[in-house]
Structure 1
Amino acid sequence: MSGARLQHFGWFLARGFGPHGWGHPYLDWDWDWTRPDLYQQSARELEQAGFDFVLIEDAPSLGSPQTIDLRVRHAFGGPKHDPLLLAPYLFQATRALGVIPTVNPAAYLPYTAARQFATLQHLSGDRLGLNVVTDTASARHFGDAPQLGHDAAYDRAEEWLAGIRALWRSWDEGALVRDAASGVYVDGSRLHATAHRGDYFAFDGPLNAVPFTAGEPVIASPGGSGRGLGFAGANSDIQLALAPLHEKSVREYRAKIHAAAIERGRRPEDIKILFAIQPVIVASPEEADRVVAASLAPSDATLRLIAQRQSSDLETDLTALDLDAPLDAGIFGDHVSHGSIRRLTGDRDVATTPLRVHLTALARLGRLSDRSGFVGTAEEFADLIEELGEWGNDGVLLWGDLHPVTIHRTLDELVPVLRRRGILRRELLGDGLHANLRAF
């Protein structure tokens, strides 16, 4: 292949700050998931590998009363501790790696959020990012207001983020004087009130935190709906992309994000688009063929296990449904992520396709070599990344837990191959997450 170019790499801690190792043989490595050591070791490995950041999924809720047991019985959806409070431990263990915890606008009042995030940005040396999600199922934990619908949740998130940014910018240039000769630390005349009265929030400034020297925290967002793409175009520095990885789909997805950015007065290059991939890296093409062949005819027990996982993500009990009957699309509440539903149903007709077919499609693996899936050797995976680069792609978000065993299984052979091909950088800059994202 030709045209190799540097790509940005992130690691998506897909199950959040939860029971790592549970349900896997490597549980007997005896890492304690409630302690920082496991995450610190993995963060150091990612930094050495040249990854830009680790992004930590989160859901503050255990779900609805009807689905709590589904989420916790096998630890698919909980328990989870707060990733924002894990971030300082990861910053302490690394020098340049960005850390992007997931935050929910429903859980943080704008003034409190602006102050806490500013504090972490300073403490980390400008390495904080925020993955802004619009999970509305958690609303009952934060007050008695009615749960918002999908688009209204994005409206609230936009107001929340705009308010936080207004607070961050409530110190004009030159406000922070720090002149020992005169004894003046701050020029109070250069602070402004930032009075906000909106549809969802009301607060006043200025913010009781000093301004940034190397930019505000990086904003990341997921989302595949029209409203989600619009939010990304207006607000995000990183877009987490889920789309089929063929040229037409990748180019169309990127075009939508770029169009949304231009519509909101931004440049397309202001947003780094990283496609999420969960590769299975194996030692040889023959092993890859064996792994794929073993997945083609999943048992009912395997399908039930996948249904449990999907039930957790979708806040909808799929385990009680008839495997051989079509899904009723009405079972999904308005709060359920459109992207999560699409991961289950793909492009299949929901009204006529049995649940078994959807679950079997998730169980089946494909080969990297023919682009039917993500099982293959490090060289084959590098071929895919080069191909994405030829289509103008910005980077890749590798998807998995943050257990050291997973990190090594995925990266031990992959990192040398990517570096030899000129796809993966050898060293991060030391000037913060924005600087690393803008380096190429």
Structure 2
Amino acid sequence: MTRLQHFGWFLARGFGPHGWGHPYLEWNHTWTRPGLYQDSARTLEQAGFDLLIVEDAPSLGSAETIDLRVRHAFGGPKLDPLLLAPYLFAATQHLGVVPTVNPAAYLPYTAARQFATLQHLSGSRLGLNVVTDTGSARHFGAAPPLSHDAAYDRAEEWLTGIRDLWHSWPDDALIADPARGRYADGSLLHETVHRGKYFAFDGPLNFVPFEQGDPVIVSPGGSGRGLGFAGANSDVQLALAPLDEASITAYRGKIHDAARAQGRTPEDIKILFAIQPVLVSSAEEADRLVAASAHPADATLRNIAERQSSDLETDLTALDLDSPLDLSVFGDHVSHGSIRRLVGTSDPDAPLRELLAAHAQLGRLRDGSGFVGTADELADRIEELGTWGNDGVLLWGDLHPVTVHRMLDELVPILRRRGILRSEYTGGGLRANLQSF
């Protein structure tokens, strides 16, 4: 049965050089100024989207891959999305804005106060995409990088501490009664003394309680530890999985089991699957694109290797294309999910050429083999996901106005006519919109 789903936009490039490498660079938008992002945020809100997630990587990576990351602006430069958020809030009224934050970069008390400030200023529309990028550790102190799972342990302590600070003011501590001449009752504030493995700080926090609940927490982790973190902490899970019924059901089951293990319910977490469609005007054009991608040239494979090298902080271009990929080339800090996305379902002994070719080859929305198709075909797929219990989708792309309109101009009317995409907001901020259905 057709039902409403939640929609978000995942800004995969982050706060970086939008338009670079594409013809629409000639629109002359300036990526370091807010206007480009404000225009697109207003379009997403007009479309009825719940949230915009802005990727980030504070580091330019290891010495061997810095040039690969900046040469074509795959992995840098990037500016801080947390500082972009106020400009996006100023341009919109309902859209949730979710900058990516790294626990290594923010001490808990400072983080709690800054995030609380944005939650108040935005009318309760702040979300936080909590990531555990360990490769950036050297920028934030002398401590050595943590292992994958230990980084999640630190993130969990960090987030628990921030929430303790947010709740160091019980609601009845704020009186704000001019007739009584009393603003607050300090005797009710919680002392909040934290001495943990990774952080030590004291409260209470210098702020006032939220009107519409805490900022929404988003997480992208796909490892066992990452799913456990989501079950305990997340309101939204940024999900990556094949979009067939068995995979969707299995992934959702893992998240729901993780939530139950923490005393939460499946309804506490909205699971949004990220997809990167290529929309074209006709089925014939989609078939032509898919056929043309079947036998990628070496230049195409090198381009993919450069992109993957940026994400994986490992120079794949220096490896032999015709030899199997030795997974030991990846350091412990490299995201397990990124490695899985590179390898996919290929034979463990498959040559690197085959792994890269799999990323070049396109498939059709119509038969479920990929994401090339018409707006109607994409709507068919999203509607089908809803029949499997899906909460919603994240469309993956740049936030350039050309990209946003190319994706949404035909799609939004189709989704609305089918009753899949909201036509109005409930009010009350991001959390209220996510809980409205």
Provide TM-score, normalisation by structure 2: 0.99
Q: Distance in 1 between matches of 2:366 and 2:77?
A: 37
Q: Distance in 1 between matches of 2:97 and 2:298?
A: 39
Residue of structure 2 in register with 1:27 after alignment: 25
Partner-residue secondary structure (3-state), 2:414 = helix
Residue of structure 2 in register with 1:341 after alignment: 339
Residue of structure 2 in register with 1:119 after alignment: 117
- 1:268-325 deviation digits (Å, cap 9, x = unpaired): 0000000000001111101111111111111000000000000000000001111111
Partner-residue secondary structure (3-state), 1:160 = helix
Q: Which amino acid aligns with 1:332?
A: F
| Structure 1 residue 428: Cα displacement | 2.0
Q: 1:105-144 maps to which residues of 2 (within 5 A)?
A: 105-144=103-142
Q: 1:184-199 maps to which residues of 2 (within 5 A)?
A: 184-199=182-197
Partner-residue secondary structure (3-state), 2:399 = coil
Q: Distance in 2 between matches of 1:250 and 1:70?
A: 34
Q: Which amino acid aligns with 1:293?
A: A
Residue of structure 2 in register with 1:9 after alignment: 7
Whether contact under 8 Å (1:100, 1:129) holds in the other structure is: yes
Gaps of 5+ in 1: none
1:397 equivalenced with 2:389 (yes/no): no
Residue of structure 1 in register with 2:203 after alignment: 205
Deviates more, 1:286-295 or 1:120-129: 286-295
Q: Distance in 2 between matches of 1:143 and 1:45?
A: 40
Whether contact under 8 Å (1:121, 1:128) holds in the other structure is: yes
Query: Of 139, 143, 146, which residue of structure 2 is paired with 1:145?
Result: 143
| Structure 1 residue 157: Cα displacement | 0.2
| Structure 1 residue 183: Cα displacement | 1.4
Residue of structure 1 in register with 2:429 after alignment: 432
Q: Distance in 2 between matches of 1:365 and 1:49?
A: 27
Which aligned segments of 4 or more residues in structure 1 are displaced greater than 6 angstroms?
none
Q: Distance in 2 between matches of 1:226 and 1:182?
A: 53
Root-mean-square deviation (CA, aligned residues, Å) is 0.6
Q: Distance in 1 between matches of 2:426 and 2:82?
A: 23
1:383 equivalenced with 2:380 (yes/no): yes
Query: Of 36, 60, 63, which residue of structure 1 is paired with 2:61?
Result: 63
Partner-residue secondary structure (3-state), 1:140 = helix
Q: Distance in 1 between matches of 2:22 and 2:424?
A: 32
- 1:155-207 deviation digits (Å, cap 9, x = unpaired): 00000000000000001231111010121111000111100000000000000
Residue of structure 1 in register with 2:160 after alignment: 162
Whether contact under 8 Å (1:95, 1:430) holds in the other structure is: no
Q: Which amino acid aligns with 1:282?
A: V
Whether contact under 8 Å (1:97, 1:428) holds in the other structure is: no
Percent identity, aligned pairs only, is 78
| Structure 1 residue 429: Cα displacement | 2.4
| Structure 1 residue 430: Cα displacement | 2.2
Q: Distance in 1 between matches of 2:286 and 2:72?
A: 28
Q: Distance in 1 between matches of 2:265 and 2:275?
A: 26
Q: Distance in 2 between matches of 1:310 and 1:383?
A: 30
Q: Distance in 2 between matches of 1:176 and 1:200?
A: 31
Residue of structure 2 in register with 1:84 after alignment: 82
Residue of structure 2 in register with 1:422 after alignment: 419
- 1:2-55 deviation digits (Å, cap 9, x = unpaired): x11101000000010000000000000000000000000000000000000100
Q: Distance in 2 between matches of 1:78 and 1:303?
A: 21
Residue of structure 1 in register with 2:403 after alignment: 406
Deviates more, 1:399-408 or 1:176-185: 176-185
Query: Of 356, 360, 370, which residue of structure 2 is paired with 1:359?
Result: 356
Whether contact under 8 Å (1:50, 1:425) holds in the other structure is: yes
Q: Which amino acid aligns with 2:99?
A: P
| Structure 1 residue 67: Cα displacement | 1.2
Q: Which amino acid aligns with 1:371?
A: G
Q: Which amino acid aligns with 1:186?
A: A
Whether contact under 8 Å (1:418, 1:424) holds in the other structure is: yes
Partner-residue secondary structure (3-state), 2:318 = coil
Q: Which amino acid aligns with 2:344?
A: G
Gaps of 5+ in 2: none
Whether contact under 8 Å (1:218, 1:433) holds in the other structure is: yes
Residue of structure 2 in register with 1:296 after alignment: 294
Residue of structure 1 in register with 2:49 after alignment: 51
Q: Which amino acid aligns with 2:38?
A: Q
Aligned residues: 437
Q: Distance in 1 between matches of 2:425 and 2:280?
A: 27
Provide TM-score, normalisation by structure 1: 0.99
Partner-residue secondary structure (3-state), 1:398 = strand
Q: Distance in 2 between matches of 1:425 and 1:79?
A: 35
Q: Distance in 2 between matches of 1:176 and 1:420?
A: 45
Q: Distance in 2 between matches of 1:4 and 1:66?
A: 50
Q: Distance in 2 between matches of 1:7 and 1:277?
A: 14
Q: Distance in 1 between matches of 2:432 and 2:170?
A: 23
Q: Distance in 2 between matches of 1:141 and 1:168?
A: 27
Residue of structure 2 in register with 1:374 after alignment: 371
Partner-residue secondary structure (3-state), 2:366 = coil
Residue of structure 2 in register with 1:307 after alignment: 305
Residue of structure 1 in register with 2:271 after alignment: 273
